[in-house]
Amino acid sequence: MRLHSLLFAVMLSACASRGPASRPASSEPSETGEASSRASPAPPVEDASPSGDYGTAHPFLFMDSAQDGRWLLACQAREDTDGDGHIKVTFGHHGHTSGDALRPYLFLEPGAGIPIDELVAVDPTGRFLVLVRDATLALFDVETREQKVLASGVTPDTTSPRPTSRASFSQDGQRLLFLRPQGETSVAVVRDLRQGTERVLDAGKGLIGQVLLDPSGHWAVFDVVEDTDGDGKQTWPQQKTTLASAMCRGPVRSSSSYGWQGDRPVRRLRRVEGGPLLQQGDVVQPLGEGMLRRAPDQSIFFEHADGRKETWVPAGCAGMVVHADAERRQLLVACDTKQDLIPLELHGASIHQPLGWRTSMQALESSGSDSGRDGRLVSLEVESKTQPSTGEYLVVDMKRHTAQSLLNQEPVAFVGAWALLKESIKPTAPDRQWTHRLRLWNAETGKDSVVSGSGSYFQAWAGDTGIIMGKLIDLRAGQVLGDVEDEPLALDTRGRALRPSPTSKEHPGSLMLGPVRWEPALKPPAPASPAPGAP
């Protein structure tokens, strides 16, 4: 695997999905196919009332928030660090800052927040955070407000455009894998969050650059470097890029990358509960308690935790796994990858089925595949059957084993059988531009409706609920909840949008000023018109 692909895969895998959103009631699409804009009279959840103010009246840069809104992470400049007599922050095209220094703050409630040095990892269930503060790596329990020191003598990463994964939670929030400094190197430690116990896991020879806990919690993944460039040092690779540091990075209008420097990493894996250390080679990827591995004849087999082996992908396919569905024990595979056009097939414990579509290695390397949190719907670019040498998107339903192409439509998000699609509409006159609108489509029933034909393409998501093109949508239910004003900083599962507080002020030419507050995401209903003849 190329260095670029290896690092990119790690960064994608480290982005753990969040817990489920609420399921508010709402209007159904109309018989004409146009989604109703009438919102449910009740708020999406039990309490979407405005909150107090978060932050101070200084430059405010929102960074992240809990899915349920119980914590916020933002950067603020609260001191005149450049000595020019006022506090102001501006940004360059690559996200770099100028003016006064920004510092991250963790907000657990309205107010001034807690100054921290770095937020390292977030538990998918929302309960735990791993952060660096005062040279200490700590596990913070949001519910109890308790803090457990994981390591001392820790330096926050304030310079990397793409920081490595130094801590990772399992999907159920029961296990944590993290790096603990030990002399000039680090060791990998797995912590049982229920029992509070820890064990060091041997990652083999070399310098551990980053760690990742497989979502199932059964496998620890280590990316390790040895001295591959012969300079006598073990150096984690750094990408040469114009992109600003991820710490308190501003809006990025453009950036470029031009190679790497440092040693080449290798990937190693080990069962958390014990077992041999595996290193690339025949390893394909973990899948639940088991492992996908490649046999000498190029078939792919599933190795159970007890050592039993099942051949899932036959040797004749000579395939590459595009998407692995652990729940349904099946794989989306690109076969005969040395061809210009590669056939797509479904394989697994009890299925071997060609899909009748072909893609290219270039499409797989440039855009890969995309899926929802439950992994049921998967999209990727394939060659059009009606327009050769032209690409279009294909949606594969892993539950129903079907594949459907999307002409002039691009998938935006998936939940269950529902998908949001961005439709491109060809202009009717040569001097006109293509326009776009949003559609809500069900891959199982074929139900299809227009959600929005105008508005900004801005997106904000919390669980299964999202704001896009000015609409609040519960994608799990396939329902449009109503209209949203402007572009909020974030959305939470309580039906609230994070917006500048009424007390905040515009700061032309630089970063917005705080504070911010949670408010109901939906527009208030318009007052009813008086009945004819009413006083």
9 has a pLDDT exceeding 50: no
Gyration radius of the chain's alpha carbons: 25
The Cα–Cα gap between 151 and 4 comes to 30
DSSP-assigned beta bridge partners for residue 189: 178, 200
19 has a pLDDT exceeding 50: no
420 has a pLDDT exceeding 90: yes
User: Which residues are CB-neighbours of 253 under 8 A, at least 6 positions away?
Assistant: 93, 94
Higher per-residue confidence, 51 vs 297: 297
Q: What is the residue type of 247?
A: M
**Residue 50 binned pLDDT confidence (cut-offs 50, 70, 90):** low
User: Which residues are CB-neighbours of 62 under 8 A, at least 6 positions away?
Assistant: 72, 73, 74, 489, 490, 498, 516
Place of tokens 């999307």: 406
Enter the CATH code of domain 119-280.
Answer: 2.120.10.30
Q: Output the pLDDT for position 25.
A: 29
Mean pLDDT to the nearest integer, 77-88: 94
Quick one: tokens of 519? 């408010």
The Cα–Cα gap between 42 and 62 comes to 29
Let me know if 143 is exposed, middle or buried by CB neighbors in 10 A (0-12, 13-18, 19+): exposed
The Cα–Cα gap between 476 and 41 comes to 19
35 has a pLDDT exceeding 70: no
Q: Output the pLDDT for position 503.
A: 79
Mean pLDDT to the nearest integer, 45-68: 84
Contact 482, 467 (CB under 8 A): no
User: Which residues are CB-neighbours of 112 under 8 A, at least 6 positions away?
Assistant: 55, 56, 105
Pick from 104, 99, 143, 102: which is nearest to 120 by CA? 104
Residue 185 CB neighbour total at 10 angstroms? 11
Render 460-497 in DSSP notation, one character per residue: EEETTEEEETTEEEETTTTEEEEEB-S--SEE-TTSEE
248-306, pLDDT tens digit by residue? 998 888 888 888 899 999 999 999 999 999 998 899 999 999 999 999 999 999 999 99
Q: Output the pLDDT for position 528.
A: 64
Average predicted confidence (pLDDT) for the chain: 87
The sign of the dihedral angle between the CA atoms of 146, 152, 155, 157 is negative
The Cα–Cα gap between 341 and 334 comes to 10
432-462, pLDDT tens digit by residue? 777 888 999 999 999 999 998 766 778 999 9
490 has a pLDDT exceeding 70: yes
Higher per-residue confidence, 51 vs 438: 438
User: Which residues are CB-neighbours of 238 under 8 A, at least 6 positions away?
Assistant: 160, 260, 261, 262
Pick from 201-205, 312-316, 430-434, 509-513: least confident: 430-434
**Residue 45 binned pLDDT confidence (cut-offs 50, 70, 90):** very low
Give me the residue spans of the domains in the chain: 119-280
Place of tokens 């909840």: 481
Higher per-residue confidence, 262 vs 429: 262
Mean pLDDT to the nearest integer, 522-535: 69
Pick from 461, 492, 460, 465: which is nearest to 68 by CA? 492
Phi and psi, residue 456, nearest 5°: -65, 150
Let me know if 164 is exposed, middle or buried by CB neighbors in 10 A (0-12, 13-18, 19+): buried
The Cα–Cα gap between 268 and 278 comes to 5
Q: Output the pLDDT for position 20.
A: 28
Pick from 329, 400, 397, 332: which is nearest to 369 by CA? 332
The Cα–Cα gap between 335 and 317 comes to 5
DSSP-assigned beta bridge partners for residue 383: 391
Q: Output the pLDDT for position 467.
A: 94
Q: What is the residue type of 489?
A: L
288-300, pLDDT tens digit by residue? 999 999 999 999 9
51 has a pLDDT exceeding 60: yes
Q: Output the pLDDT for position 457.
A: 76
Q: Output the pLDDT for position 532.
A: 66
Mean pLDDT to the nearest integer, 136-140: 98
Place of tokens 């004819």: 532
The Cα–Cα gap between 354 and 403 comes to 10
Q: Output the pLDDT for position 14.
A: 36
The Cα–Cα gap between 420 and 238 comes to 36
CA angle at residue 417 from 415 to 421, to 5 degrees? 70
Pick from 152, 74, 170: which is nearest to 113 by CA? 74
Tell me 233's DSSP state: S
Let me know if 445 is exposed, middle or buried by CB neighbors in 10 A (0-12, 13-18, 19+): exposed
Greatest mean pLDDT among 260-264, 385-389, 397-401 lies in 397-401
Model's pTM, two decimal places?
A: 0.86
